């Protein structure tokens, strides 16, 4: 009797009303990620209005953008640590609250300092939400839902980004950037409510796991320092210590965290688990394609505004063709996920982004209204086919229980590549006095990076000595077994 009374006296754990509901889980993940991603893609087009309203210069605006992106990259790593020890539901709700507060600060800021604080809060929150929200969506709904989930993630990570230029053009045309931040804050609040309703209550996998005293500080240095240096580049030069010193130190820290995670017995991110053929090839593809995509979109925007003299709203409308490309890529991703063609799709996406770079070399003021939409279509397809499939090549090569930390590592590397390469090449294009020629040089360098990176990724795959094969999704979802039987790095040479 005493035992029964004791059991009845224990507090009951209430199940979230919509827990296990697939549409609710999809909505939860999209609300977590999309607002910040749209804002990041939109901010370049309302930069001048922002500078005027906040009485700041180009460096202040660059710092807001750069440090928010640094917060995003660091947030993914920090979340990989926290969700091991704290229930992911709590992390999700706390981060959505942080996102709302950051959005309201950025919206109401009287000056650039408060605006930067708000933007950093948005970035950190979204990076953490990526790791807290995406893995449950992928792993909790069975193998039959996984292809649809993959397509949704592709649309969420890149499809919604393609609306950024249009949103930015509207904000610039009507001086309504504060309205954009207000809408973003409302979407964050909706995400918080959806988290209360739909995020499942589960115990953390390793509540006794200690804080990574080495990895987290290195992650801060690897994200904040490079983005800080690149932000100062907008008001300086490549030879400036304000650029060179933090970027160099940050890249050293990035190498340090990768090496440290490889040799650590209980790593924050499973570097050793994915240091073999398929994930290495996929990470290379994601880094190169993502960096090139960001660079080429910004180059197209600068050319259309500064050379062809189109208003921001027209530029945003011209680039909405990206959404069509993303939708086609998401459908192909859904079809290819359970087959052996996933790596081929990723390499094909990279090749299409290279075709977009080559097309932008033909830009002229009289043809920009034709070339930019076609390039946008190619860029949308290339990003959707190249980055998200490559991300899954890495994720499926580690056990499903390690999906969150794997996503954190890939997003850290991809974000640093994307948000470093684009500002550096944009600065290169805008120096020298001849803007059309500078944009051509930057597009050519981007094309060279794509060709070199693609060749490296394909070589890694070939040196594995094993033909592409279909992943075992059911076994992957069931336990601690990777979906891919990925050979060791350079296994063909080793044998």
- Listing DSSP states for 151-179 in one string gives HHHHIIIIIGGGGHHHHHHHHHHTT-HHH
pLDDT per residue, tens digit, the chain (495 aa), is 343 433 333 334 457 788 888 999 999 989 998 899 889 888 888 999 999 999 999 889 999 999 999 999 999 999 988 998 899 999 999 999 999 999 999 999 999 999 999 999 999 999 999 999 988 888 888 888 999 888 888 887 766 777 888 899 999 989 899 999 999 999 999 999 999 999 988 888 877 777 777 888 999 999 999 999 998 887 778 888 989 999 999 999 999 999 988 888 888 888 888 888 999 999 999 999 999 999 999 999 999 999 999 999 999 999 999 999 999 999 999 999 989 999 999 999 999 999 999 999 999 999 999 999 999 999 999 999 998 888 899 889 989 888 888 888 888 888 888 888 999 999 999 887 799 999 999 999 999 999 999 999 999 999 988 888 899 998 898 877 899 888 887 788 876
Angle, CA 225 vertex, CA 220 and CA 231 arms, to 5°: 130
The answer to whether 141 and 25 have CB atoms below 8 angstroms apart is yes
What whole-number distance in Å separates Cα of residue 32 and Cα of residue 127? 9
Helices 215-233, 241-263: inter-axial angle, 10-degree rounding? 160
Give residue 493's pLDDT: 83
Joined together, the tokens standing for residue 394 give 């890495």
Give residue 6's pLDDT: 39
What whole-number distance in Å separates Cα of residue 391 and Cα of residue 263? 23
Element (H, E) at 258: helix 241-263
The answer to whether 300 and 357 have CB atoms below 8 angstroms apart is no
What whole-number distance in Å separates Cα of residue 77 and Cα of residue 485? 26
Give residue 150's pLDDT: 87
Give residue 7's pLDDT: 36
Torsion angle of alpha carbons 178, 74, 226, 441, nearest 10°?
A: -70
What whole-number distance in Å separates Cα of residue 41 and Cα of residue 218? 27
Q: Is the pTM of the predicted complex or chain greater than 0.95?
A: no
User: What are the phi and psi torsion angles at 488 (to 5°)?
Assistant: -60, 155
Angle, CA 112 vertex, CA 107 and CA 115 arms, to 5°: 35
Give residue 158's pLDDT: 67
- What are the beta bridge partners of residue 488? 276
The answer to whether 66 and 230 have CB atoms below 8 angstroms apart is yes
Give residue 495's pLDDT: 64
What whole-number distance in Å separates Cα of residue 68 and Cα of residue 80? 19
The answer to whether 441 and 258 have CB atoms below 8 angstroms apart is no
Only one residue has tokens 């580690």, namely 398
Residue 486: strand, helix, or coil = coil
What whole-number distance in Å separates Cα of residue 26 and Cα of residue 191? 11
Distances (CA, A) of 447 to 158, 415, 453: 21, 19, 10
């Amino acid at each position: 009797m005493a035992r029964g009374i004791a059991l009845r006296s224990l507090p009951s754990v209430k199940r979230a009303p919509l827990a296990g509901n697939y549409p609710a889980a999809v909505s939860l993940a999209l609300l977590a990620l999309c607002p910040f991603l749209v804002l990041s893609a939109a901010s370049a087009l309302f930069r001048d209005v922002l500078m005027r309203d906040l009485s700041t210069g180009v460096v202040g605006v660059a710092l807001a953008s750069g440090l928010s992106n640094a917060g995003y990259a660091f947030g993914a790593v920090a979340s990989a640590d926290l969700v091991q020890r704290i229930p992911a539901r709590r992390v999700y709700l706390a981060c959505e609250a942080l996102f709302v507060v950051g959005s309201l600060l950025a919206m109401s800021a009287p000056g650039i300092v408060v605006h930067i604080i708000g933007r950093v809060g948005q970035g950190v929150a979204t990076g953490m939400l990526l790791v807290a929200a995406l893995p449950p969506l992928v792993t909790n709904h069975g193998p039959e839902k996984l292809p649809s989930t993959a397509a949704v993630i592709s649309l969420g990570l890149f499809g919604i980004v393609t609306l950024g230029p249009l949103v930015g053009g509207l904000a610039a045309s009507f001086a309504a950037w504060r309205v954009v931040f207000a809408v973003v804050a409302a979407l964050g609040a909706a995400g918080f409510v959806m988290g209360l309703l739909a995020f499942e209550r589960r115990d953390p996998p390793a509540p006794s796991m200690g804080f990574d005293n080495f990895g987290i500080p290195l992650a801060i240095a690897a994200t904040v320092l490079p983005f800080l240096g690149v932000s100062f580049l907008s008001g300086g030069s490549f030879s400036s210590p304000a650029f060179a010193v933090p970027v160099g130190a940050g890249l050293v820290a990035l190498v340090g965290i990768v090496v440290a995670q490889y040799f650590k017995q209980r790593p924050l991110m499973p570097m050793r688990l994915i240091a073999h053929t398929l994930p290495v090839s996929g990470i290379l593809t994601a880094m190169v394609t993502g960096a090139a995509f960001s660079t080429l979109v910004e180059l197209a925007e600068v050319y259309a505004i500064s050379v062809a003299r189109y208003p921001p709203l027209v530029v945003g409308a011209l680039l909405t063709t990206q959404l069509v490309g993303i939708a086609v890529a998401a459908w192909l991703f859904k079809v290819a996920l359970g087959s052996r063609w996933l790596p081929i799709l990723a390499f094909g996406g990279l090749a299409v982004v290279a075709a977009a770079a080559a097309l932008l070399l033909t830009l002229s003021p009289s043809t920009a209204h034709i070339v930019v939409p076609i390039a946008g279509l190619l860029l949308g397809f290339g990003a959707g086919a190249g980055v998200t499939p490559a991300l899954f090549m890495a994720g499926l090569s580690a056990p499903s229980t390690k999906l969150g930390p794997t996503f954190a590592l890939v997003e850290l590397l991809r974000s640093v590549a994307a948000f470093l390469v684009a500002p550096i090449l944009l600065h290169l294009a805008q120096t020298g006095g001849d803007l059309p020629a500078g944009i051509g040089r930057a597009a050519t360098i981007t094309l060279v990076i794509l060709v070199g990176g693609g060749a490296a990724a394909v070589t890694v795959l070939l040196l594995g000595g094993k033909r592409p094969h279909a992943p075992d999704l059911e076994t992957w979802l069931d336990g601690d077994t990777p979906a891919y039987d990925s050979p060791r790095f350079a296994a063909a040479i080793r044998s």
